[in-house]
Each structure stands twice: as structure tokens, then as C-alpha cells.
Structure 1
Amino acid sequence: MPTTPRLSTHVPQRLPARARALVERVDHALEKAEATTAGRVRRRALEMDLVHQAMVLAALAMMLLIPALITLSALVPLGDSHGVATTVTRRLGLSAQAAHDVQLLFGGPGVKRTSTSYIGALVTLVSAYTWPAALQKGYEIAWQLPGRGVRDLWRPLVWLATMLGAATLVVVLGGSSEHGVSRVWLLPLGLTPVVFAWAWWTQHLLLGGRVGWRPLLTGAATITVGLYGLRAFAAVSLSDSITYNFDRYGPIGIVFMLLSWFIGFSVVMLGGAVVGQEWWSARQRRLEARRAARADQADQRP
């Protein structure tokens, strides 16, 4: 297991003893930090190359899910004022101008439907299966579980179908153009239990039930907090960034910003699982240490 490099090994011996002692204290503090759950989470994130995994997931999302939505814009009104694009961007906390700019990616209600559009929609939706499949692989790495091949192929498909169903529900329930406080913040906060349950269920489903519900609890909570953090980021700075990039680069500028958001989303989804696994492992180690201590005490009794 990789450890934090010791600073004292790089300190010249000619330095005063007081300076070397200070470096030793820093090394000791770093070692103590590495022994904590946060330190182990950092090591696990480095071991599984979390940022790289998140970038792969984000690239898959851009290459598959966004083209799927663009194809579907010929089938359903994704680009109008009450369509999927506008409704979802409102749920993300984007401003009206930023939501309008994103809306332009998906065309307007005048997009023609053709048989090619239906075939393209089917192909892109089938291709989008690889996104939850990659997320499933990331969860297996986080929990150090082997893949089960064909036996679990249906699980990413169920997850994808559920996500599409949820997107449809968002459109049905969220077609209003209101932008009041209740619409922008109170409604999403009221849905926190739903988001938490979804994050909990996502891990359990994609891991094939090999990890119990209780060990996945912390990961679900971490994912929920991270997702609301992303939403707060979108409300604070993403809108201005989208508008700026659209004015400067056109629609491709929006793609750059969406890619950044997808990377953040993927880090939250994978990082939450890593935090949950390490927290559960630390808890199990503490319980085992207590049992061992009680067993030693029992053996020492006359």
C-alpha cells in the first residue's frame, strides 16, 4: 500500500537540529493523518485513479447521453420552453439566460421527425448502456469486488431505464416556468430523501447485492451531499460560465462547461462509494479490535 513520502529523507543533514526536529514532527503529523479514514480515502482514490475514472465516465456521458438527447429532440420537444433541456437546467439551478443557451443545443419544437430519427434514438439509447456499465465497474473497484460478467449485464440496463423514467417524470412535474424560491430551492431540498434513496439503491443495484444496504448507507449520504454541492455550484457560478462561453465560443462552449459538470458528477458518484467503503472498513476494524480486547480480558480472568 502506498504511503506518504517522508520529508525527513530529503532534508540535508547540515540543517540545524531544530529544523530537522520540525520536519520530523511534520512527518509524524502526516503519518497520523494518513491513518485516519480521510487519509485512507485519499489513498484509495489514488489507487483506483478516481479522477481518471471520473473523466472516462464524463466522456462517456458526453459521447452517448448528450447525442441521445439531441437525437430524441426530433421525437419529443426537448428544445421548447417546457421540454427536457429547459426543465432539467432549471432543476440544476441555472439562470434563465443559461437555461436558454443550453436549450439551443437541442433545437426547437420545429425539428422534424423521420424514421431515421427513431432509428438513431434507438441506437444512441442502446449505446448509452455503457455509462452505467462503467459506473458499475467503478463501484466494484471501490469495494474491491470482481466483475461477474454476463450475470450482471441487466443491472446497468435497469438503472438506465430508471434514469430515463425519472427524466420523464421531471418533465411531467416540472414544466412550469416559475423561478421563485420554492421552485429553485425548496422543492429540490424537499426531494432530498428521494435523492438519498436513489443513491443508496444505485450502489446496491450495480454491485449486484453483494454489499448489504447498511454498509452502503454512508456512501449514499456522501453522494447526496455531493450532488447538492454540485447544484449549489451551478446556482452560484455555472450559469455565468455557460453564458460567457456561449457568447465567446457558441454552442461548443456550452459543451465544455457541461463536460466539466459531468466530471464533477462522476467524481461525486465514484467518490461517495470510496468514502462509504473506507468508513465501513474502519468501523469493522474498530469492532474487531473491541472484540479482541474483550476476548483478551475474558482469557485473563481467573
Structure 2
Amino acid sequence: MAWMTRLKLLHARTERRFPVLSELTSRLVSANLLDSATRLAAQAFLAAVPLLFAIAAFTPQSIRDQLRESLRAMFGLTGRSDLELGQVLEHPSDDGLRQTTGFVGLVVALASATSFSRVMARVCERAWRLPRAKTRIAAWRWVAWLLVLVLVVLLQGPVREGFGVGLWLGTILFFLVSTGVWLLTQHLLLAGRMPWLPLLPGALLAAGATSALALTARIYIPTALNRALAEYGSLGLILTLLSWLIVVSAAVVASVTIGAVLVQDWTERRDGSEDGE
């Protein structure tokens, strides 16, 4: 058909004039964007839930209060969803139950975290087309990355509020912190196989995407969570959070991949021009 022929010609012409677009499309397809985002979101959820119980069991009241304020700031929680979070982070009155639940929660949290770290590491490796890092080299990095994420989440409350100055400063600080987190994420989970500077474009893109989603989360998430809780109970809460995590994960996967393609395309062009000279 004529339109199919024209489409193929247009595609071929675009590839010749903008080879980076062809490479980007190929890389996103090979990275299985939706599949990777779904796996990443699922592992994030499985790591977060037991970690909440572990924190509730082992940490002092001040840490639990800080976590609750940070989660409120992240999602703008109000009403029933905020009450549900408060019940999760409430200190158990039975010390025996607290220790048992805390120990089991901590073990499960750590086990889930390694799966979460491995999925995120695989996303970074696919983006940069690197082979899997050996477990003995990467294992400690998985745990270190998790600890960094926990610390960042705990500080979300004051960071997003600009340490009392206002939302405008909080937005800037959140972007800067996010850039650092995604820069460190790639460097750690790639087992130091890439230098810092080439990782910066992907980190900036991921920070921009997550910053935009963070602003919309405070508008969308509270209403969606409370409606889901009212209609479907805890199952509705799980589905809503998972859906949101998939969106965030897809943005991160795409950002890291685009950053890698842009850097490698620029490097190839620079090397080619130097060879031509």
C-alpha cells in the first residue's frame, strides 16, 4: 500500500538524519520499559511494606513520627489513608509481639530489598548495555543503596517543606536531592563500572521526572487513596499505590535509558570527529 511505503521511507529517512532516535527506540524496546517498570514497582512495594513494620517495631517514637511526616509530605495523606499509616507505625504494646514482628519484618525487608536492588541494577545495566555484575562485587552495594533510600525517605518531610522556608525552596531541594540519588543509584548498582560524569544526564532526567510526579502526587494520591479505601478497603490502597509506583518506575527507567543513549551517541560522534581529523 502507498501509505505503508511512505511510512517506511519516512522511517528510513529519520534513521539516517537522527540515528540517536533509532538507537533510543531500540534501547527502550530492549529494556522492556513497561515490564521493567512493573517489576521495579512491585519490588519497591514488597520492600517498603515489611520495612514499615520493622521501623515501627525497632525504632524510637521520634523516627516513626519523622517517617509519618515524610510520607504525608510525599503523598499529601489525609483522612482515612493517614489513619491507616498511623496504625502501621504505631508502637506495639506487647513487647514480645513487637520483637517477633520486628525481627521477621526486618529479615523480610532485607530479603525484599535485595530483590528490589537487583531489579534496579538490571535496569541500569540494560540502559548502558553492560553485563550483570558479579554478586560478590555488587552485594554490599545493594544494601548500601537501600540504606541511602531509607535516609532520603526519612528526610522527605523537611526537604519538601524547604526546611520551613516554603514549597518553592522545597521543590529546588527535592530536585537537587533526587539528582544526587539517581546519580549515586547508577554508580552504585553498576558496581562503579561507569564514571560519574556520563551518569549525570540520566540522573538529571530522572530527577526532573520524579520532581514533576512528586508535585502531582500531592494532588492525585490523597483523593485516590481515600476513595479506594472507601470502596475496596486495603486492596484498593494496594492497587492505587502500585499503579502510582509503576508510573514513577516507568519514568525512571525511561530517564536512565535516554541519558545513557544520549551520552553514548555524543561519545561516538566526538570519537568519530577526532578520527576524521
Do the two structures share a fold, i.e. TM-score over 0.5?
yes
In 1, the alpha carbon distance for the partners of 2:138 and 2:57 equals: 33
In 2, the alpha carbon distance for the partners of 1:183 and 1:256 equals: 32
More contact order relative to length (CA 8 Å, sep ≥ 6): 2
- TM-score scaled to structure 2, two decimals? 0.84
In 2, the alpha carbon distance for the partners of 1:261 and 1:77 equals: 30
Counterpart selection for 2:270 from 281, 287, 290: 287
1:21-71, Cα deviation, whole Å (9 max, x unpaired): x55443333334454434422221111212111111111122232122134
CA RMSD of aligned residues (A): 3.1
Which one is further off, 119-128 or 92-101? 92-101
Q: In percent, how many aligned pairs have the same letter?
A: 22
2:74 is the counterpart of 1:88:
no
Q: In the alignment, what sits opposite 2:124?
A: 139
Structure 1 residues 209 and 101: CA distance shift in structure 2, 3 A:
same
Question: How far has the Cα of 1:276 moved from its partner?
Answer: 1.3
Verify the 8 A CA contact 1:61 1:131 in the aligned structure 2: yes
Counterpart selection for 1:215 from 198, 222, 228: 198
Structure 1: gaps of 5 or more residues: 1-10, 12-19, 295-302
Question: In structure 1, what residue type is equivalent to 2:127?
Answer: A
Question: How far has the Cα of 1:134 moved from its partner?
Answer: 1.8
1:69-124, Cα deviation, whole Å (9 max, x unpaired): 1343233478x99341342231x252533752552562535654422023123212
Question: In structure 2, what residue type is equivalent to 1:134?
Answer: V
Question: How far has the Cα of 1:205 moved from its partner?
Answer: 1.3
In 2, the alpha carbon distance for the partners of 1:54 and 1:111 equals: 38
2:262 is the counterpart of 1:276:
no
Structure 2: gaps of 5 or more residues: none
Q: In the alignment, what sits opposite 2:10?
A: 29
Question: How far has the Cα of 1:170 moved from its partner?
Answer: 4.2
Verify the 8 A CA contact 1:129 1:157 in the aligned structure 2: yes
Question: In structure 2, what residue type is equivalent to 1:218?
Answer: P
Verify the 8 A CA contact 1:159 1:202 in the aligned structure 2: yes
Verify the 8 A CA contact 2:68 2:86 in the aligned structure 1: no
Structure 1 residues 81 and 243: CA distance shift in structure 2, 3 A:
farther
Question: How far has the Cα of 1:274 moved from its partner?
Answer: 0.7
Question: How far has the Cα of 1:231 moved from its partner?
Answer: 0.8
Q: Map of 1:1-302 to 2, 5 A cutoff? A: 11=1, 20=2, 23-34=4-15, 35-76=18-59, 82-90=65-73, 92-97=74-79, 100=82, 103=85, 106-109=88-91, 112-113=94-95, 114-127=98-111, 128-149=113-134, 150-170=136-156, 173=158, 183-294=166-277
- TM-score scaled to structure 1, two decimals? 0.77
1:210 alignment partner, SS class:
coil
1:199-235, Cα deviation, whole Å (9 max, x unpaired): 1121111111111112111101111011112112313
Aligned residues: 271
In 2, the alpha carbon distance for the partners of 1:266 and 1:93 equals: 16
Larger Rg: 1
More helix by share: 2
Question: In structure 2, what residue type is equivalent to 1:276?
Answer: G
